[in-house]
């Protein structure tokens, strides 16, 4: 992370910890131990301290660290309301990010759909999510939680003789209450990159 990004991350951390530790723990939500908050982020154990963020014990100073700090600074303690599910373009003030979201959060996954299909249960478990067995469209679907109050609902279409593989990523109806719109887009983009790595893609 560049010094500029690190500075922005630290500003988000300062804002997050301007709340009492108990209030922040309730909002994330996370478990407070010795002044450090513990929760799952992007499929890894995360520790949020006043001056550092770690994932699986290693400092998170890349894009994921910035996103975790942004989430901690913005998240509320409201309950997640999943339905009606929202496409990214239906979220408020999302228009400037439509093209990038479709390319970087959805289409980037399309070449990997057969591998993702084979690994869907493992991916769901890593991201504290679940396989959706009652989907009305698509060939398979799962819900992932890259951050505790940010579920991403994926619907996948396997390739066949007529159509290429396709992916749709949906959000909870009140997703914008927990993170700014550009942050939600970045969370989906980073989650997509991590999915690809986990299924053996590049």
Q: How far apart are CA 28 and CA 76, in angstroms?
A: 7
Classify residue 81: in a domain, yes or no.
Answer: no
E-only strand ranges, 26-139: 31-33, 36-41, 44-48, 53-55, 58-59, 86-87, 130-131
pLDDT at residue 2 in the model = 62
pLDDT at residue 27 in the model = 97
Classify residue 23: in a domain, yes or no.
Answer: yes
Domain that holds residue 188: 86-198
What is the DSSP-derived secondary structure letter of residue 161?
A: S
The upper half-sphere exposure of residue 34, i.e. CA atoms within 13 Å in the direction of its Cβ, equals: 1
pTM of the model: 0.94
pLDDT at residue 137 in the model = 83
Same domain, 69 and 125: no
What is the DSSP-derived secondary structure letter of residue 102?
A: I
pLDDT at residue 201 in the model = 63
Classify residue 79: in a domain, yes or no.
Answer: no
Which residues partner with 47 through β-bridges? Answer: 38, 54
Q: How does pLDDT run across 6-65, given as a tens digit for each residue?
A: 889 999 999 999 999 999 999 999 999 999 999 999 999 999 999 999 999 999 888 899
pLDDT at residue 3 in the model = 66
Residues of the chain with pLDDT below 50 are none
């Amino acid at each position: 992370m560049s010094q500029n990004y690190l500075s922005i991350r630290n500003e988000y951390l300062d804002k997050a910890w301007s709340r009492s530790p108990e209030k922040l723990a309730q909002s994330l939500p996370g478990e407070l131990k010795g002044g450090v908050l513990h929760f799952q982020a992007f499929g890894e154990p995360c520790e949020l301290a006043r001056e550092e963020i770690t994932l699986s014990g290693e400092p998170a100073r890349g894009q994921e660290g910035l996103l975790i700090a942004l989430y901690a600074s913005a998240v509320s303690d409201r309950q997640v309301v999943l339905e009606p599910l929202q496409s990214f373009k239906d979220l408020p003030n999302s228009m400037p990010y439509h093209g990038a979201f479709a390319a970087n959060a959805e289409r980037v996954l399309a070449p990997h759909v057969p591998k993702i299909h084979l690994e869907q249960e493992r991916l769901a478990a890593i991201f504290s999510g679940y396989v959706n067995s009652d989907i009305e469209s698509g060939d398979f679907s799962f819900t992932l939680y890259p951050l505790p109050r940010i579920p991403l609902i994926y619907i996948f279409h396997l390739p066949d003789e007529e159509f290429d593989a396709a992916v749709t990523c949906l959000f909870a109806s009140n997703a914008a209450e927990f993170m700014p719109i550009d942050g939600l887009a970045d969370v989906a983009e980073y989650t997509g990159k991590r999915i690809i790595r986990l299924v053996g893609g590049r």
